[in-house]
Each structure stands twice: as C-alpha cells, then as structure tokens.
Amino acid sequence: MAARTNGAGAIAGMVTGAATVLIWISLGWNGSFMGGPGVYEIIPGFIAALIAIVAVSLATSDAGEYQHITR
C-alpha cells in the first residue's frame, strides 16, 4: 500500500488523526472509556488516520508526486 499512497491520502491521514485525538480528549475518553480505564488517544488516532490514508489514496488518482523515486 505504501507505493500507492499519495499526497491527498497523507493530508487526509494527518487531519483525521489530529481530529480524532482532539475529539477523544474533549469527550474525556482518555480518562474513562466504557466503564474501564481510559484508552490513550494516540491509538484511535492512529487507526483512524490509517483508514483515512488508505481510503483517500485508493479513491484519488496519483498526481505524480513521487516520480523521482525509482525502484
């Protein structure tokens, strides 16, 4: 998947991850979650960012940002 990742996917991942962390903290789920101990906010932020990167990279075409990289 890393070879198909594009700039739009990277931006979507950063925005989604940051928004997830902010929402997680503002809802107080880092202190208590579903009756148990809190879940560290980076975990759901990472998962949401990963999903956004994959979804947006697959949904958008490659704009040729990385043409200088050869394999």
Cα 58 → chain centroid: 14
pLDDT digit string, tens, across residues 31-55: 776 666 777 889 999 999 999 999 9
d(CA 5, CA 1): 6
Q: What is the pLDDT of residue 48?
A: 97
Q: What is the pTM of this model?
A: 0.78
User: If you average pLDDT over residues 15-30, what whole number do you get?
Assistant: 91
Would the pLDDT of 17 be above 90?
A: yes
For residues 1 and 28, the model is more confident at 28
Q: What is the pLDDT of residue 64?
A: 66
d(CA 7, CA 13): 10
Query: ∠ CA 71-59-54 to the nearest 5 degrees?
Result: 65
